[in-house]
């Protein structure tokens, strides 16, 4: 039963990676940029959630919501200030800028509030563990999974059923053709950053709850792992990011369960190397050819 | 309806359109013929607002539209079927058509136009739910045209609708272009297939390396020795 327990942990952790990976993949899909500042938006989300809970004295779900809204605005600001002026520049210029933005957010946060970590308050939500076929599943795991699941379903709905979602898919497929439909490309890109960043903000709050410790550099490793998850699923593909995140979480949990927990962080990058060698388009990626 | 006066368009240092002027009247089919790289697509992109002219005017119904963003051009009633169709191959036929009506809010009108497009292209209705990337080239051309019609344009720009299609299909597409024109949509048709284009057009312009070198009624141009030699296979 130990293995099932680990599997449940892996899926919970993986769903956090998946939430972050979605932002990477959506932004890549639309502007072909690996937004390396995305992990830091996740960190900012964790802090906004923390301050909402401790200073404003509100519960988990309101804090989650505040964090998501604030991160959405933050994401749009990053895009408008740092990336938009480089829309027609080389991709490497935008990539380097993303790394700069990442460092700026990390050390800006340290400058504003110091580098000391904070402890997320526990017992925000009355959590009861449940037992299923002899496996004890913690209330926290259920909360994480449930929240992530709801957000992912909501995202699928937005992307497939709403007008802005269709515009996002159109712009990501062919920007000029989208313009010819009358789609406002700039607004659509902003919306993509807003949604991706909101998901990262949510992931930050959930992560804070799960690991209890948050600090200004906490976004780096989860950010990189979520990037691996996005590549694993096929960068630019939304279901790929979800699957990639969960698969990566499970792999990590299994490695820990096998007694190699020190190797946990390394394994994600082994996965990245393997996927780049054997299936660079990712699990869900395929080479699409255009008909002429 | 559309009046272009002396526009110059550059790609970086390349002078792509050199003082181009042309005019399209309400209800006409006007064709622009020319070889590869003559500037045909550049002109359409400039009209649609994807490129900005350095100078000159583009008047649509007496309003200056040169340099306006694509969105506002579509809103004014100019739609384009781009070269190479450019359908959203990751989406269904229906979703492509919905995107064509992106700026419209009149649900009832959109529904009517769905019916109209499906009437014009029954194949599209059969394949409503199919991913448009799986359509044949001809079907994709139909979809691109249907998608542009969903904006209910008053002026339709068509960029090489015959490209890569079998001769029989080209005939069908041109017949449909005439049908669209008969329902009151003015058409600017860009073509390399000068024979076909001149056969349905009222008037024509010939463009060579960024300059308009000949203009006249379609009948006149198809009689001109020079044009026949250069574009019509010259028998």
Strands, DSSP E only, in B83-145? none
Q: What pLDDT sits at residue A272?
A: 94
Position B92 pLDDT exceeds 50: yes
Q: How confident is the model at residue B206 (pLDDT cuts 50, 70, 90)?
A: very high
Edge-to-edge strands, sheet with B211-217: B78-81, B155-159, B186-191, B29-33, B203-208, B211-217
Q: Which of B84, B133, B136 sits opposite A288 (nearest CB)?
A: B133
Mean pLDDT of A256-260: 88
Position A62 pLDDT exceeds 80: yes
Q: Taking a C-beta distance cutoff of 8 angstroms, is the pair A248, A271 a contact?
A: yes
Buried b (16+ CB within 10 A) or exposed e, A5-14: bbbbbbbbbb
Q: Taking a C-beta distance cutoff of 8 angstroms, is the pair A54, A76 a contact?
A: no
Residue of A nearest to B146 (CA): A181
Nearest-CA distance B224 → chain A (Å): 32
Task: Give B84's contacts in chain A (Cβ within 8 Å).
Answer: 290, 292
Q: What pLDDT sits at residue A291?
A: 45
Nearest-CA distance B80 → chain A (Å): 7
Q: How confident is the model at residue A290 (pLDDT cuts 50, 70, 90)?
A: very low
Q: Which of B71, B79, B98 sits opposite A166 (nearest CB)?
A: B98
Hey, are the CB atoms on A173 and B91 less than 8 Å from each other?
yes
- Every domain of chain B and the residues it spans: 1-77+156-161+187-235
Task: Give A285's contacts in chain B (Cβ within 8 Å).
Answer: none
Q: Is A60 exposed, middle or buried (0-12, 13-18, 19+ CB in 10 A)?
A: buried
Q: Taking a C-beta distance cutoff of 8 angstroms, is the pair B12, B6 a contact?
A: no
Query: Which DSSP category does A292 fall into?
Result: -
Among residues B45, B98, B83, which one has the least CA distance to residue A169? B98
Of A129 and A250, the structure prediction assigns the larger pLDDT to A250
Hey, are the CB atoms on B133 and A179 less than 8 Å from each other?
no
Q: Which pTM does this prediction carry?
A: 0.91
Q: What pLDDT sits at residue B222?
A: 87
The domain B1-77+156-161+187-235 is classified under which CATH number: 3.40.50.740, 3.30.365.10, 3.40.50.2020, 3.40.50.300? 3.40.50.300
Hey, are the CB atoms on B164 and A292 less than 8 Å from each other?
yes
Phi, psi at B176, each rounded to 5°: -70, -35
Q: What pLDDT sits at residue A33?
A: 94
Residue B216 belongs to what H/E stretch? Answer: strand B211-217
Q: What pLDDT sits at residue B9?
A: 96
Nearest-CA distance B223 → chain A (Å): 32
Q: Classify the phi-psi angles of A236: left when phi > 0, otherwise alpha if psi is within -120 to 50, otherwise beta.
A: left
Q: What pLDDT sits at residue A292?
A: 44
Sequence-separated (6 or more) residues with CB below 8 Å from residue A105: A37, A40, A41, A43, A44
Q: Which of A174, A179, A181 sits opposite B100 (nearest CB)?
A: A181
pLDDT tens for B5-33 read 999 999 989 999 999 999 999 999 999 99
- Whether the CB of B71 is below 8 Å from some CB of chain A: the reply is yes
- Every domain of chain A and the residues it spans: 2-120+131-278
Q: How confident is the model at residue A288 (pLDDT cuts 50, 70, 90)?
A: low
d(CA A247, CA A241): 10
The domain A2-120+131-278 is classified under which CATH number: 2.60.120, 1.10.3470, 1.10.287, 3.30.70? 1.10.3470
Hey, are the CB atoms on B88 and A173 less than 8 Å from each other?
yes
> 3-class DSSP state for residue A282?
coil
Q: DSSP for B98-110, please give it.
A: HHHTTT---HHHH
Q: What pLDDT sits at residue B230?
A: 80
Q: Taking a C-beta distance cutoff of 8 angstroms, is the pair A80, A191 a contact?
A: no
d(CA A102, CA A30): 20
d(CA A281, CA A232): 8
Q: Taking a C-beta distance cutoff of 8 angstroms, is the pair B49, B70 a contact?
A: yes
């Amino acid at each position: 039963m130990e293995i099932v327990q680990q599997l449940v942990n892996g899926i919970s952790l993986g769903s956090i990676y998946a939430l972050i990976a979605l932002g990477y993949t959506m932004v890549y899909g639309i502007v072909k940029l690996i937004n390396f500042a995305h992990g830091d938006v996740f960190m900012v989300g964790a802090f906004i959630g923390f301050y909402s809970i401790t200073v404003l004295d509100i519960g988990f779900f309101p804090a989650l919501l505040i964090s998501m809204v604030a991160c959405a605005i933050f994401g749009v600001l990053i895009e408008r200030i740092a990336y938009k002026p480089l829309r027609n520049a080389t991709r490497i210029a935008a990539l380097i800028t993303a790394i700069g933005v990442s460092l700026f957010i990390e050390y800006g946060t340290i400058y504003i509030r110091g580098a000391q970590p904070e402890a997320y308050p526990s017992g925000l939500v009355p959590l009861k563990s449940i037992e299923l076929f002899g496996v004890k599943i913690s209330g926290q795991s259920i909360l994480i999974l449930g929240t992530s699941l709801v957000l992912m379903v909501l995202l699928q709905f937005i992307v497939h059923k709403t007008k802005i979602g269709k515009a996002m898919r159109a712009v990501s497929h062919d920007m000029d053709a989208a313009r010819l439909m009358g789609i406002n490309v700039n607004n659509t890109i902003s919306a993509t950053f807003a949604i991706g960043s909101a998901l990262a903000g949510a992931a930050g709050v959930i992560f804070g709850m799960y690991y209890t410790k948050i600090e200004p550099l906490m976004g780096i490793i989860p950010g990189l792992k979520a990037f691996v998850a996005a590549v694993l699923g096929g960068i630019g593909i939304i279901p790929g990011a979800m699957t990639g995140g969960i698969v990566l979480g499970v792999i990590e949990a299994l490695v820990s369960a096998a007694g190699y927990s020190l190797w946990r962080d390394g394994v994600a990058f082994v996965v990245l190397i393997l996927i780049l060698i054997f299936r660079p388009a990712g699990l869900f990626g395929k080479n699409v050819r255009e008909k002429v | 309806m559309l009046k272009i006066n002396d526009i110059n368009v550059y790609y970086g240092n390349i002078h792509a359109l050199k003082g181009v002027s042309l005019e399209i009247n309400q209800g006409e089919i006007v064709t622009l013929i020319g070889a590869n790289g003559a500037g045909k697509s550049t002109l359409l992109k400039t009209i649609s607002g994807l490129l900005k002219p350095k100078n000159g005017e583009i008047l649509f119904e007496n309003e200056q539209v040169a340099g306006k963003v694509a969105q506002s051009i579509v809103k004014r009633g100019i739609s384009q079927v781009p070269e190479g169709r450019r359908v959203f191959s990751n989406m269904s036929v229906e979703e492509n058509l919905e995107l064509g009506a992106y700026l419209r809010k009149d649900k009832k009108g959109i529904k009517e136009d769905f019916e109209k497009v499906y009437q014009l292209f029954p194949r599209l209705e059969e394949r409503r739910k199919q991913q448009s990337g799986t359509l044949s080239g001809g079907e994709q051309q139909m979809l691109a045209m249907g998608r542009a019609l969903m904006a209910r344009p008053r002026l339709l720009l068509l960029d090489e609708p015959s490209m890569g299609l079998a001769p029989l299909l080209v005939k069908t597409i041109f017949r449909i272009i005439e049908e669209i024109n008969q329902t009151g949509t003015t058409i600017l048709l860009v073509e390399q297939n000068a024979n076909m284009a001149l056969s349905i057009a009222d008037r024509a312009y010939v463009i060579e390396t960024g300059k308009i070198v000949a203009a006249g009624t379609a009948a006149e141009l198809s009689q001109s020795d020079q044009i026949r030699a250069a574009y019509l296979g010259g028998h």
